[in-house]
Amino acid sequence: MAKKKPKAPSNTIALNKKARHEFHLDKKFEAGIELQGWEVKSIREGKVNISDTYVHIKDGEVFLLNSQIQPLTQASTHVVCNPTRYRKLLLKRREINELVGAVERQGYTLVCTAMYWKKSWAKVEFYLAKGKLNQDKRTDIKDRDWSRQKERIMKHSTR
C-alpha cells in the first residue's frame, strides 16, 4: 500500500469573508507588513482579526487600518502593545501610484481580504473594490442558489 503524505499546514492566517459579499473586487495586490516582535508572535498563535480591515493611503505611504492583533499574555511588560495600531504596508512606488490614482480619481476603496505567510514573511492580500448595492447582493445570492440547485439536479440525473 502507498503511504499518504502528511497534509501541509495552511499558510492562511486570517480571512475576510464579508469582503466578497459587500464589494465588487477588481484588482488584487499583495503587500508585506511592517510588524513589531510581539505582533509576529501573536500572529503565529492566530490572534488576528481582519474582518473590518481596510487600506488607507496617506502622504504617499500605505497603511493597514482596523486590523486587530491581540497581544499574548506572555508578552514583555516593557513593550506597550496597541492591538489596533496603523501598520505600514510595503509596496513599490509604482504600485502606490496606481493605488492613489484609482482611489482619488475613480472612487475605489482598498479592502483587505486575507493575511497569510509567504515563506517567513507575513503578507496581506487586498483588492481595489467598489461597494455593492443591495440589489447586487440579492442577485449574487440568487445566482449562488441557482448554481447549487443545478448541481443537485445534475447529481441526481446521472444516477
Residue 157 lies inside a defined structural domain of this protein? no
Strand blocks (E) in 1-139:
12-15, 23-33, 48-49, 54-58, 61-65, 68-69, 87-90, 109-118, 121-131
pTM across the whole model: 0.74
Residue 156 lies inside a defined structural domain of this protein? no
77 or 145, greater pLDDT: 145
The arithmetic mean of pLDDT across residues 52-76, rounded, is 87
Residue 141 lies inside a defined structural domain of this protein? no
Residue 22 lies inside a defined structural domain of this protein? yes
**What percentage of the chain exceeds 70 in pLDDT?**
91
Residue 54 lies inside a defined structural domain of this protein? yes
**In terms of residue numbers, what domain contains 51?**
12-132
Residue 139 lies inside a defined structural domain of this protein? no
Total domains in the chain come to 1
Residue 59 lies inside a defined structural domain of this protein? yes
User: What confidence tens digit (pLDDT) does each residue in 79-109 have?
Assistant: 778 888 899 999 999 999 999 998 888 888 8
